[in-house]
Amino acid sequence: MKNSNRILIGFVLFIVLVPLMMLAGFISKIKSNNFTTENFNNPKREVTKLEPANYVVVKSYREGTCNIGYAAQPQYYQYYQAPGDTLDIHRAGDTLVFEWKHKPGTPEVDNGEGVSMDIDLPLVSLLVADGLTISVDSLSPEKPSDILLQHDAGLVLGNEYDHETIAKYGQVKVTARNSKVKIQSKSEIAGLQLNLEGESAVEIDPKATVGEVSGTISEMTVVNAPYRIISRLKPAVVQ
């Protein structure tokens, strides 16, 4: 037999026999209960609870997102921060403030990944977003909700994917000052008061259900929304 044939046969036997031997050893360990298991699931996230407040401000020195939901007691979970970020949480009277700041002595980060966190809140009289985008998945259907956006902030209401449920809201008042408002397709809003000031932007999906509409809109506002909704807004009076 030629050497080349012997090498080929040996290689084939190696390819076949090694997996069979490994499988036999694996089966033997299972039968003898001689094995261990490890759990690689992510650990349970740490949620920090806070005392209730009548007003809530979410502020950031750089771009970021904040998901806001409902809970009987205020609490938050922090997803991401760069080494140069620091989150300052403090109270000013009846106002609870979440403020992302630049940590002194560290380089400012511009990697395209902004700060990120979740906040659960009870009913509040005013919710302010300053410099970052908030996504609100639920608001009280009984009590009117008042939201203020400023310094290139953003607001997202509702869901957009087919597998998601319709997000329902009661009376919602939004004041946007050089900021953006987005209402997604799977939204149901009983009443919407929009006050769009300066160089703001509004985007409303045609599939969104919006009841009564009122408010004002500046001539510099960028609009991507159904005419049936935007036509009910009055021109903003320039001060």
What would the pLDDT profile of 47-56 be if each residue is shown by its tens digit? Answer: 788 888 899 9
73-84 residue pLDDT tens: 888 887 767 778
pLDDT band at residue 69 under the 50/70/90 scheme: confident
Check whether 40 has a pLDDT greater than 50: no
Is 98 or 16 the better-scoring residue by pLDDT? 98
Summary mean pLDDT of the chain: 82
* Mean pLDDT in residue range 27-47: 49
3-state SS of the chain is CCHHHHHHHHHHHHHHHHHHHHHHHHHHHHHCCCCCCCCCCCCCCCCEECCCCCEEEEEECCCEEEEEEECCCCEEEEEECCCCEEEEEEEECCEEEEEEEECCCCCCCCCCCCEEEEEEECCCCEEEEECCEEEECCCCCCCCEEEEEECCCEEEECECCCCCCCEEEEEEEEEEECCEEEECCEEEEEEEEEEEECCCEEEECCCCEEEEEEEEECCCCEEECCHHHHCCCEECCCC
Q: Write down the domain spans for the chain.
A: 1-37, 48-235
